Amino acid sequence: MSLPGPAPVPTLSQRIEEEKRNVRLYADAIALYSSVRLTFQNYGFAVHVEPTVRLVDQNQKTPDLLVETKNGFTILEHKGSLPMEKGNLSRKLRELAEYDQSMTCGNSNFRPDVILLCPSRLATDLMSRKAELKLPTVVSYSAPTEKNCILTLANGTLKDGYLRDLFDMKSNELKLSTDIIERYKYKFIRREPPVPYTTHFIWAFINLSKDAFQKKVTVSYDQLIERINEFCPPWCAEARQLSEGRLNKVMKFLQHLGWIKYDRQTREIVADTSRGTKAGRMEEYLCDKFVKFTEELTPQQQLGKKGAFRVPTLEELFSQYGK
Amino acid sequence: MGFSSARSQSFADYVLSMEPEYLGGSAPPLHLFMTFPQVDLSRISDVAASAGVSVSVKQASGNLYDLAVRLRKRAAYAKLVAYDETWTIVVRSEESPVAAGEIVEKWLANVHPKLISSFFDSKQLLDVVDSFRKLPNPPEINVSEFVLREYPKGPTHKTWEKGKPYDRSVIERHILDNNAPLDSIKFKISAERDSFDCRISRNGHLVLYAGSISQFMSLIVSPMTDIAKANQDFFRNRQREFLEGKIVLKEIRLAADEKEVATEHLERLGGAICDAFVGAILHSGNPMLYVNAIDKLDGSVFDVCAYPDEIIVMPYSKASPSSLIRLYMLITEVVPSAQRRD
């Protein structure tokens, strides 16, 4: 018997495709959370999107959705994809089971019911391996961005009778309410957005400051972050949609593209809005450029590493160009 | 309604002075453009210069101006009538009237969004033709040609069978079958006293070939100016606002007429938006389309969400009417069955 070799390293084009997929899944997750929240709110239940909960050991966690009825609390933890290799899959399911304990959220103490929320095809895969896995309650969804999005109770039962009663007894289905306007008010969730996704929206907000025939636009970093957070309301009071960390990543990437110059001392962004106008599909262009950009970075500079996003000052940039 | 009572005297005098020539059929085609300025007339030369076009404006009398437009080595001379909300540009060129019309059309495209052309959808163009049937003594309507604008192919000319009576449903069927909006329609109105031969277009470019100029002005230009104004007003003040702690969205909804929009047309719409604007397709398929678009001309931003039965445009905190009109024209070019819900 031969041992499995190391996982193959994805090629550049595979990484670009993966980045594009991440962008789409991120937008889909926002649509899904919005619809689930709206549906349960319409029945009079409170729904917290990505709330902070405190466990008995004082550790904090952020479940994706927390539904509160008179009976108690239910966590819906969303997985758009899961590893299919048994060890990794079991580990992911165990992580989910960690929510099955007493916790507090705001002034409420509770022990929630825990549900895995996943796409229909993933639920089908999991059910086919039911014998070898310890599956939690599974609720699947179809076409999260469509008007006609359906939740299906695929495995187990819902402990909360209020929620159970919402599902059709025969089909185990619940049609989600959708409000397109409500859905697209939100642009971010707490989960780290793919940098190309954030970049497009930041670029859109920078463009809002431009006048016709104007190429160069100067925007204040602080005003930009304020404007976006005013525009995109938070899902809950404790989390702003755009943090400095997210914006700094975009600043670095846009500087790499040569679309902006950001002076860290004056916190002023000077953008050339004529850039990117012939990019075609912007999300594809940005994914392509971003993956190539991260390839060039040393491990120390990799995005997300602490300190990696110190944006160089204009003096530093000029001294680099002078070399 | 008399044409001269609705227009300023100097313009009316200018137009009516041409009446004998057009009635005699010896005059060159008269091109007319209805536009909506977003800039003061004194600044139009500067605006044109920043768009790479040379324009000179000189007052002739009252609100009537002489306009000279130069695009590279080509030139067109026109009259501009300035009202508060609209500027009407009249091109009458002896040498090459068709070219002169084209030059002004290109110039308008270059100075957009500072000067916005009027626009009309297929239904509105056909309503104008149909309006003659509602007159007390309906004149004869003879269509000679109509043009469809199929995306991305461009215009397709359709000749109307000679002697065949005008039938709106024939054109509507072509629009639906070819998935292409009506770009222009050329027709002749023949009444006992007056008749005229003209073309009306989706982009507000009107042409009088021959006949009564005063009838053309009162029966075509005046009502079409009112429609154009209403169209402009529809797209005004659509930007997202933040009032009393809440986001107020003034979205634009277009409903699919008759049949649902096919998935391939939704995909094509996504591509078309990305070509004309700076667009990111954040979802495409099964079959909903979600695009975020930035207008590279003036920085307006909007989300476009399209389903087989409905297309929704959700403007951001800046969404100029010119930008929304450009988007609307594009949407209805790619998906002609989409009708605005007023």
Residues B9 and B110 in one domain: yes
Cβ contact, residue pair A230, B312, below 8 Å: no
Which residues sit opposite B339 in a β-bridge? Answer: B255
Asked whether residue B216 is domain-assigned, the answer is no
Residues B89 and B134 in one domain: no
Residues B93 and B132 in one domain: no
Residues B269 and B197 in one domain: no
Cβ contact, residue pair B51, A213, below 8 Å: yes
> Given the DSSP bridges, would you call strands A137-142 and A113-119 parallel, antiparallel or unpaired?
parallel
Take residue B95 and report the two structure tokens written for it. 């040498």
Asked whether residue B211 is domain-assigned, the answer is no
- A23, A230, A282 ranked by CB distance to B278: nearest: A282
CB A273 within 8 A of CB A209: no
Query: Position of tokens 């667009």?
Result: B279
Average pLDDT, chain A: 88
Q: Which residues have CB under 8 Å from A179's CB, separation 6+?
A: A34, A38
CATH of the domain at B319: 3.30.160.690
Query: Position of tokens 């500072």?
Result: B114
Take residue A48 and report the two structure tokens written for it. 């917290």
CB A265 within 8 A of CB A210: no
Query: Position of tokens 């059309």?
Result: B105
Contact status of B91 with chain A (Cβ, < 8 Å): no
Asked whether residue B219 is domain-assigned, the answer is no
Of B67, B83, B117, which closes a domain? B117
Q: What is the dihedral of CA A20, A23, A26, A27, to 10 degrees?
A: -110
pLDDT of residue A4: 63
pLDDT digits (tens, 9 = 90+) for B251-288: 999 998 767 888 888 999 999 999 999 999 998 866 68
Cβ contact, residue pair B278, A276, below 8 Å: yes
Kindly tell me if the per-residue pLDDT of A212 is higher than 60.
Answer: yes
Please report residues of A whose CB lies closer than 8 A to that of B280: 200, 281-283, 286
- A209, A231, A276 ranked by CB distance to B299: nearest: A209
Asked whether residue B233 is domain-assigned, the answer is no
Please report residues of B whose CB lies closer than 8 A to that of A180: 305, 312, 314
Of B60, B91, B117, which closes a domain? B117
pLDDT digits (tens, 9 = 90+) for B21-76: 999 888 889 999 999 999 999 999 998 888 888 899 999 988 899 999 888 778 88
d(CA B274, CA B277): 5
Give me the number of domains chain B comprises. 3
- A147, A211, A281 ranked by CB distance to B274: nearest: A281
Residue extent(s) of CATH 1.10.10 domains in chain A: 195-322
Cβ contact, residue pair B290, A145, below 8 Å: yes
Contact status of A213 with chain B (Cβ, < 8 Å): yes
Asked whether residue B23 is domain-assigned, the answer is yes
Q: Where are the beta strands (DSSP E) in chain A?
A: 46-49, 53-55, 60-61, 65-69, 72-78, 103-105, 108-110, 113-119, 137-142, 150-155, 173-175, 216-220, 260-263, 268-272
User: pLDDT grade, residue A183 (50/70/90)?
Assistant: confident
User: pLDDT grade, residue A42 (50/70/90)?
Assistant: very high
pLDDT of residue B5: 43
From A214, which residue of chain B is nearest by alpha-carbon distance? B298
Q: Provide, rounded to the nearest whole percent, the portion of chain A with pLDDT above 70.
A: 89
Cβ contact, residue pair B298, A145, below 8 Å: no
**Optimal mutation site among A20, A282, A285, A287, interface B, most CBs of chain B within 10 A:** A282
Residues B253 and B198 in one domain: no
pLDDT of residue A132: 87
Nearest CA-CA partner of B333 in B121, B125, B126: B121
CA dist list (Å): A185 to B241, B246, B266: 12, 11, 22
d(CA A267, CA A47): 37
Asked whether residue B22 is domain-assigned, the answer is yes
Which residues sit opposite B207 in a β-bridge? Answer: B31, B199
Asked whether residue B220 is domain-assigned, the answer is no
Q: What is the span of the domain harbouring residue B292?
A: 241-340
Higher pLDDT, B247 or B211: B211
Of B117, B148, B178, which closes a domain? B117
Residues B110 and B140 in one domain: no
Q: How many CB atoms lie within 10 A of CB A284?
A: 19
Fold (CATH) for A195-322 = Arc Repressor Mutant, subunit A (1.10.10)
Residues B93 and B134 in one domain: no
- Assembly ipTM: 0.88
Cβ contact, residue pair A281, B281, below 8 Å: yes
Asked whether residue B207 is domain-assigned, the answer is no
Give me the mean pLDDT over the A6-19 stretch: 89
Cβ contact, residue pair B296, A277, below 8 Å: yes
pLDDT digits (tens, 9 = 90+) for A53-106: 999 888 999 999 999 999 999 999 999 888 888 888 888 899 899 999 999 998
The A residues from 218 to 257 touching B (CB cutoff 8 Å) are 227, 230-231, 233
Contact status of B229 with chain A (Cβ, < 8 Å): no
Residues B111 and B133 in one domain: no
Contact status of B240 with chain A (Cβ, < 8 Å): yes
Please report residues of B whose CB lies closer than 8 A to that of A211: 298-299
d(CA B288, CA B282): 10
Residues B142 and B190 in one domain: yes
